[in-house]
Amino acid sequence: MNRGASGYYQALVEGVEPGGRYLYQLDGAALRPDPASRFQPEGVHGPSQIVCADFSWDDTSWFGLPLNRYVFYELHVGTYSREGNFDAIVPRLAELKSLGVTAIELMPVAQFSGNRNWGYDGVFPFAVQNSYGGPAALKALVRACHQQGIAVVLDVVYNHLGPEGNYLGEFGPYFTDRYRTPWGMALNFDGPDSDEVRRFFVENALYWVTDFHIDALRLDAIHAIVDHSAQPFLQELTAAVHQRAAELNRHICVIAESDLNDVRVIQPCHSGGYGFDAQWNDNFHHALHTLLTGEREGYYQDFGQLRHLAKAYAEGFVYSGEHSSFRRRRHGSSSRTIPAERFVVCAQNHDQIGNRMLGDRLSTLICFEALKLAAGVVVLSPYLPLLFMGEEYGESAPFLYFTSHSDAALAEAVRRGRREEFSGFAWQGEVPDPQDEVTFLRSKINYELKDTAGHRTLLDFYRELIRLRGTNPALAYLSKEDTDVIALENKKTLFVRRRCGECEVFVAFSFADSVIAVDAPVPPGRWQRLLDSSDEQWKGDGSLLALKLSSEGEVGLQLNRKSVVIYEKSLEQPI
Amino acid sequence: MNRGASGYYQALVEGVEPGGRYLYQLDGAALRPDPASRFQPEGVHGPSQIVCADFSWDDTSWFGLPLNRYVFYELHVGTYSREGNFDAIVPRLAELKSLGVTAIELMPVAQFSGNRNWGYDGVFPFAVQNSYGGPAALKALVRACHQQGIAVVLDVVYNHLGPEGNYLGEFGPYFTDRYRTPWGMALNFDGPDSDEVRRFFVENALYWVTDFHIDALRLDAIHAIVDHSAQPFLQELTAAVHQRAAELNRHICVIAESDLNDVRVIQPCHSGGYGFDAQWNDNFHHALHTLLTGEREGYYQDFGQLRHLAKAYAEGFVYSGEHSSFRRRRHGSSSRTIPAERFVVCAQNHDQIGNRMLGDRLSTLICFEALKLAAGVVVLSPYLPLLFMGEEYGESAPFLYFTSHSDAALAEAVRRGRREEFSGFAWQGEVPDPQDEVTFLRSKINYELKDTAGHRTLLDFYRELIRLRGTNPALAYLSKEDTDVIALENKKTLFVRRRCGECEVFVAFSFADSVIAVDAPVPPGRWQRLLDSSDEQWKGDGSLLALKLSSEGEVGLQLNRKSVVIYEKSLEQPI
């Protein structure tokens, strides 16, 4: 091969056809797959395969989804179905659409070692996992989604590469020892020769949105991307994707996972921000989770008061410079002026479930009424809601941590690491073995559950919430300025009022353990009950008293334990 | 001692007087000086001393210096005089004032090991170096400066502590192993318990400006302060100092040394910047130094064209996103819209001299005419000029790297490190031994040199340049918008036009090696020569032809080799 500019080597090989396989040999060393491989039919150690870029797309009338229309459904391809591949997702799209989901978010699909992995151990960023069906099957899935009007979000990992089959460093200065990540060597985004390292990942982002018609990227753990340059990689990346979106005339969003609570992430580039369209807001999750479960371990120690959830609802970040006990320092900056649509919120996601020793979902931790309450808190927020596969019908299978490394020493290290991580939880039993196939199989969702009694009710409840969110102007309009939040700490009740022009909605969330009476902070008026999670329709304890005018001119309410009630102001007949 | 809030221990001891000495004993371990010691009369390992805070200040009519009035004179206390202390600076202030210097900038004075050190090995950030005269002598120096109307800038080091006597880590979580610096353990500005680490250094900054009436701080190498928090330490620090300035009703500036070429450093906090008033612009130095010396080693490889200096003159950063050969990546962001007063520029400083193997000053590298040219380029720029002690009269003593550690192994490591650093320069001779007192003594300036013929001329030339800078409106007005820069690469000539209202000045800098004829890019008019470095008055080759009207209506000039000529537009009689 001939050395070209910027350290790339090239050769023109005649007569190569799609399906042809190849390896590189570096200066007489071992044969290696292509670091920019498009397909690894035999896994991370095998040859790369030439892939035909042609595909019969039929989504020319699909322009992507505006940010504020996203209702995410996060799924892990391997455990979403018995087959564990892209094809098996397609038959379920109609049901997801009927649920109101507007986007599926795929956990990472870059080629990883073995057949079982969350995806964060990917080592070929451009190759679609062979056991999921490879690149053609992913394209077919995207096409099917767009046919249904469903967007596709892809989780991409630009902070490290996985531990097995990671040959990238042999090809160039992709890694640096100046920084560290919790998961492996840090990528070289600001050191010597980093321009082309950045380009590798920028091109990766453009590859997905261009060649695969992906609608949004979710960047994993950007806080582990260390970069002190004056023009940060992340800025370069969001700008490149947004430019490509303009060229393609499609909505394309870039979403960050970040634990920095730093508004810079979601501020526009011209204000010195990184220019992400949105970011996951873990604070919202933690505030909700602690209220629902009473848990206070680890990072949950910073949460647990109703005011935390109230602040998450009103502002976004709960920690905006306050002292965090868990971090033992002040944390975060204020997101008060950040638009609501820049936050993705959830009651559960792969991390919050899977990073528990036993991978327990909320459905196994809290009661049915509380599950509906959680659904209400997420879906009725002014933020972008995200459900984790199976959450909508109260799936009970755990989502455990699983791997299938072929390197025995690595497998053992992962096993040991997991055991050490949960050494304080021995009373809960044994740490499931990540390498054991059973751990993977146990994590598969039981999709047929959704058709059984209680599960079906929860599913219908989610559907109704999402329908209301999409059709009621006051709920559809994502504006913090038009959202008022009042927390009654001693009543364990959160009131939220949301407005859009003349339309107004008033929601009461009760986290109390029994029926409570409260004065609602709304003016008397003709309020119409839109939804009550206690209603018998939702297999609840039964709806309580309707609104009444109290002696002080306030609106009195009785709220069931763990309930959510939505009222809409009637425009026709004020009293 | 009793444990108080945030991990501090306290005890009230009766009958303590100034002059009393003390040590701390940590849980039965060795006796240690106070990490916040105000004075270490016996050096870094000895006891701390109680210092009386009273001082007879008489500078109530001194309000500090506005940023745009700064003309810096950087000096190293130990080598500025035979005595090597604060007191010995005082008798020279009148002369510095007559030179036009408006501020002296002291290299770090925090207590370091031994008597000989640049100061970047300080280990007691609040204690003034004993061998310099301690805190009282520093206060006396500041008072004397303010009496003369001279501001005092202090170089402070918040990126690491020195290697000997560094006991800070025994007292608390001041350091972190998550990051590294080239000089020692990184300080913990974003990890657990970092709030109080930040406070230690913020209080240090406030201590100097409040208790010592220091007018500006120069923060050493902020690129080595690693901090991923959403509200960065540096933001917190500049905000705290500026708030204190408001309370004290004084101008107080915070200036950064940064090699990031990142405008964020000098952007205001409310725009996501760090809020520094100004920063050193090394690019300016390198662009000038390479033109003067022809050197292309190390980071000088990125410079050497006239256009580099032209860009530094017009914008500030030369590298604003372009590829840097030295860094092997793109570097910097554009400072085009940054006000000129936010940059400090120089032809020499302690680093650019002292980090050479033989510590050679420009005076030993280039000819007399070129020295005057260098002076002109720096002083006539729209930026804040900085001279390094002795530069004004062409001091010929080197400024070498010197230490006086008492730890023999450390001393040897420093010696070896220095030898390795310059292993490629063996043809220049032996690397001076940093620990040898002779190395320190050789670095002392020979102040009496200034009264000898050529030196006196250079001194007068500097004085005249600074006088013009201060009195001519077009030169005094620091505005990039009113500065036009034209580089004639093939003529090695840089033209600069500067305006302020009706006033206009036109400066020609010739880097050529012989007389050249050029058409000046100014309209014909009545231009009056203000200064010509070739003039016999400045011991030059003799002034050449005055301005003339060329046939094309342009202004023709003849310029001497290595010369600077200033013309002013006459307002009275346009032709």
Per-residue HEC secondary structure of A283-314 comes to HHHHHHHHHHHCCCCHHHHHCCCHHHHHHHHH
Distance CA A259, CA B261 (A): 27
Say whether pLDDT at A493 is over 80: yes
The SS3 call for residue B140 is helix
Chain A's closest residue to B181, CA to CA, is: A178
Distance CA B231, CA B233 (A): 7
Instruction: Looking at A366-485, list the stretches that DSSP marks H as alpha helix, in order from N- to C-terminal side.
Output: 368-379, 408-421, 437-442, 453-471, 473-476
Tell me phi and psi for residue A429, to 5 degrees.
120, -160
For residue A260, give the nearest of B194, B230, B271 by CB distance: B230
Chain A's closest residue to B271, CA to CA, is: A271
pLDDT value at residue B83:
98
pLDDT value at residue A575:
44
Residues of chain A neighbouring B267 (CB-CB closer than 8 A) = 272
The larger pLDDT score, comparing residue A573 to residue B222, is at: B222
Distance CA A423, CA A118 (A): 22
Closest to B511 measured CA to CA, from B481, B527, B489: B489
Say whether pLDDT at A428 is over 60: yes
A359 torsion bin: left (phi>0), alpha (psi -120 to 50), beta (else): left
Instruction: Looking at B152-281, list the stretches that DSSP marks H as alpha helix, in order from N- to C-terminal side.
Output: 168-171, 194-211, 233-248
- Chain B closest CA to A338's CA: distance in Å? 14
Contact B316, B337 (CB under 8 A): no
Q: Does A232 touch chain B (CB under 8 A)?
A: no
Cα–Cα distances in angstroms (integers) from residue A551 to residues A291, A519, A524, A558, in the given order: 32, 11, 11, 16
The answer to whether the Cβ–Cβ distance between B229 and A328 falls below 8 Å is: no
Chain B's closest residue to A182, CA to CA, is: B178
Residues of chain B neighbouring A330 (CB-CB closer than 8 A) = 195, 229, 231
Distance CA B399, CA B445 (A): 8
Distance CA A563, CA A565 (A): 7
Pairing of strands A151-156, A216-219: parallel
Token pair for A299: 């990072």
The larger pLDDT score, comparing residue B192 to residue A548, is at: B192
Chain A's closest residue to B270, CA to CA, is: A271
Distance CA A411, CA A430 (A): 17
CA angle A178/A181/A184 to nearest 5° reads 95
For residue B230, give the nearest of A192, A194, A332 by CB distance: A332
The SS3 call for residue B485 is strand
The answer to whether the Cβ–Cβ distance between A195 and B330 falls below 8 Å is: yes
pLDDT value at residue A523:
76
> What percent of chain B is modeled with pLDDT above 90?
88
CA B291, B293, B296, B299: dihedral to nearest 10 degrees?
-80
The SS3 call for residue A446 is coil
- In chain B, where the domains are located: 11-54+107-148+157-277, 404-438, 472-569
**What does the DSSP assignment read for B442-473?**
HTS--GGGGGSHHHHHHHHHHHHHHHHHHHSH
**What does the DSSP assignment read for A207-246?**
HHHHHS---EEEES-GGG-----SS-HHHHHHHHHHHHHH
A27: Cα within 13 Å, side-chain hemisphere = 3
DSSP A158: -
Question: Which residues of B are annotated as catalytic?
Answer: 220, 257
Gyration radius of chain B over CA positions = 25
| Interface mutation vs chain A, best among B329, B330, B333, B334, most A CBs within 10 Å | B329
Contact A479, A340 (CB under 8 A): yes
pLDDT value at residue B575:
44
**Average pLDDT per consecutive 10 residues, chain B (575 residues; last block may be shorter):** 89 94 92 97 98 94 96 98 98 98 98 98 98 98 98 98 96 91 91 97 98 98 95 98 97 98 96 96 98 96 98 98 97 97 98 95 97 98 98 98 96 94 87 96 97 96 98 96 95 96 94 92 82 96 74 78 93 56
Dihedral (CA of A74, A79, A84, A87) sign: negative
Chain A's closest residue to B320, CA to CA, is: A230
Give the containing element (helix H, strand E) for B138.
Answer: helix B134-148
Contact A465, A532 (CB under 8 A): no
Chain B's closest residue to A190, CA to CA, is: B329
Say whether pLDDT at A551 is over 70: no
- A154-188 burial string, b = 16+ CB within 10 Å, else e? bbbbbbbbbbbbbbbeebbbbbbeebbeebbbbbb
Would B11-54+107-148+157-277 and B472-569 be classified into the same CATH topology?
no
Question: Which residues of A are annotated as catalytic?
Answer: 220, 257
The residues near A333 (Cβ < 8 Å, ≥ 6 apart) are: A261, A262, A263, A264, A317, A320, A321, B230, B231
Distance CA B495, CA B472 (A): 18
- Residue whose tokens read 């120089």: B346
Say whether pLDDT at A553 is over 90: no
The residues near A56 (Cβ < 8 Å, ≥ 6 apart) are: none
Closest to A154 measured CA to CA, from A223, A93, A95, A86: A86
Distance CA B543, CA B559 (A): 8
Distance CA B372, CA B536 (A): 13
Q: What is the architecture of the domain spanning B11-54+107-148+157-277?
A: Alpha-Beta Barrel (3.20)
- Residue whose tokens read 């970092």: B194
The larger pLDDT score, comparing residue A573 to residue A212, is at: A212
Q: What is the architecture of the domain spanning B472-569?
A: Sandwich (2.60)
The residues near A450 (Cβ < 8 Å, ≥ 6 apart) are: A392, A393, A456, A459
Closest to B227 measured CA to CA, from B179, B261, B267, B273: B179
CA A138, A142, A143, A148: dihedral to nearest 10 degrees?
140
Dihedral (CA of A44, A49, A53, A56) sign: negative
Token pair for B421: 């650093």
Closest to B234 measured CA to CA, from B179, B277, B176, B184: B277
Residues of chain A neighbouring B223 (CB-CB closer than 8 A) = 228
Pairing of strands A527-532, A563-569: antiparallel
DSSP B474: H
Distance CA A525, CA A555 (A): 9
Say whether pLDDT at A248 is over 80: yes
Distance CA A154, CA A139 (A): 12
Distance CA B128, CA B108 (A): 9
The answer to whether the Cβ–Cβ distance between B332 and A230 falls below 8 Å is: yes
* Least confident interval from A152-161, A286-295, B564-573: B564-573
Give the containing element (helix H, strand E) for B531.
Answer: strand B527-532
For residue B267, give the nearest of A179, A272, A328 by CB distance: A272
What's the burial of B207, exposed, middle or buried (CB within 10 Å: 0-12/13-18/19+)? middle
Distance CA A54, CA A468 (A): 41
Distance CA B130, CA B42 (A): 7
For residue B230, give the nearest of A179, A228, A261 by CB distance: A261
Distance CA B286, CA B53 (A): 43
Distance CA A156, CA A112 (A): 13
What's the burial of A35, exposed, middle or buried (CB within 10 Å: 0-12/13-18/19+)? buried
Residues of chain B neighbouring A192 (CB-CB closer than 8 A) = 327-329
CATH code that applies to domain A70-160+202-370+383-405+418-423+437-443: 3.20.20.80
DSSP A28: T
Mean pLDDT of chain A, nearest integer: 95
The residues near A63 (Cβ < 8 Å, ≥ 6 apart) are: A249, A250, A251
pLDDT value at residue B385:
98
Q: Does A262 touch chain B (CB under 8 A)?
A: yes
Residues of chain A neighbouring B273 (CB-CB closer than 8 A) = 272
pLDDT value at residue A572:
65
CB pairs under 8 A between A and B: 79
Token pair for A455: 């599960």
pLDDT value at residue A554:
67
For residue A329, give the nearest of B192, B264, B328 by CB distance: B192
| Interface mutation vs chain B, best among A326, A329, A333, most B CBs within 10 Å | A329
Q: Which residues 308-367 in chain A show a CB within 8 A of chain B? A: 321, 323, 327-333
pLDDT value at residue B163:
95
Token pair for A129: 């996992």
Q: Which amino acid is at B48?
A: S
The answer to whether the Cβ–Cβ distance between B261 and A230 falls below 8 Å is: yes
The answer to whether the Cβ–Cβ distance between A330 and B195 falls below 8 Å is: yes
